């Protein structure tokens, strides 16, 4: 430790949020951001390829002999899934990151016996979860 040139290690340790808590949150965000980015990219490329290839492949389907030899048909087969589902899966991954970060906060606050703020944090997470459940299964 140096008083003249302090580093992040010189910060006083917060009982609710020790350095490991921040590292855990950062790792969660990094991993989910990469997974989300890849899923969104796959969904986006698939949508473009389908948009380009599908109408052509629909024509080619009538000529079975040429089916495997056209790039349009090949790609439309390769990306024969619903791109929207993949993108929505990516959004769900981001939801895990946001909720997970709040849950990690709440656990830290409970451990430090800061029960009021911990309960507030849990309430916020619960509210978001209820909103999603209502959105999915509600009227």
Partner 1 sequence: MIPDLTPLADLLITILIVAVLAGFFGALAGLGGGMILQPIFVLYLGLSFGDAVGASAIGVLATSLTTGAAFTRERIMDLRVANLIASVTVPGALVGATLTVLFAGTRIEPLFLIAFGLILIANIPGTVALRRPKGEPYNGRPDRLAELLHLEGNYLDRPRRKVVHYRAKRVRETMGVMFGAGVISGLFGIGSGVLNVLTMDRVTGLPIKVSTTTSNYVVGIDIMASLAILFAGGLVQPTLAAPVAIGSAAGAYFGGRMLPKMDSGWIRWVFLALMVIFGIEELLKGVTGL
Residues that bind partner 1 (CB under 8 A): 4-8, 10-12, 14, 16-17, 19, 22-23, 25-27, 29-30, 32-33, 36-37, 40-41, 43-44, 47-48, 51-52, 83-85, 87-88, 90-91, 94-95, 97-99, 101-102, 105-106, 108-109, 114, 116-117, 120-121, 123-124, 127-128, 131-132, 134-136, 138
Residue 14 DSSP one-character state: P
Ranges of H-type helices in 1-139? 19-60, 71-78, 83-111, 115-137
Q: How far apart are CA 90 and CA 133, in angstroms?
A: 18
Least Å from the CB of residue 25 to partner 1: 5
Least Å from the CB of residue 99 to partner 1: 8
Hunting for tokens 């979860």 — which residue is that?
129
Closest to partner 1 by CB, 7 or 65 = 7
Report the run of H or E that residue 136 belongs to, with start and end: helix 115-137
Task: Specify whether the CB–CB gap between 45 and 38 falls below 8 A.
Answer: no
Least Å from the CB of residue 136 to partner 1: 8
Structure-token pair, residue 64: 């079975």
Task: Specify whether the CB–CB gap between 87 and 26 falls below 8 A.
Answer: no
Closest to partner 1 by CB, 55 or 63 = 55
Closest to partner 1 by CB, 4 or 69 = 4
Closest to partner 1 by CB, 33 or 59 = 33
């Amino acid at each position: 430790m140096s008083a003249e040139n302090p580093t992040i290690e010189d910060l006083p340790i917060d009982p609710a949020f020790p350095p490991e808590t921040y590292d855990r949150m950062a790792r969660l965000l990094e991993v989910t951001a990469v997974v989300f980015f890849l899923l969104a990219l796959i969904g986006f490329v698939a949508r473009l390829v389908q948009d380009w290839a599908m109408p052509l492949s629909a024509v080619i389907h009538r000529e079975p002999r040429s089916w495997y030899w056209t790039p349009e048909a090949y790609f439309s087969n390769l990306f024969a899934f619903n791109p929207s589902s993949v993108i929505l899966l990516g959004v769900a991954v981001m939801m895990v990151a946001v909720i997970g970060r709040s849950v990690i906060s709440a656990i830290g606050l409970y451990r430090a016996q800061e029960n009021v703020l911990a309960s507030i944090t849990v309430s916020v997470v619960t509210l978001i979860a209820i909103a999603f459940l209502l959105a999915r299964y509600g009227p």
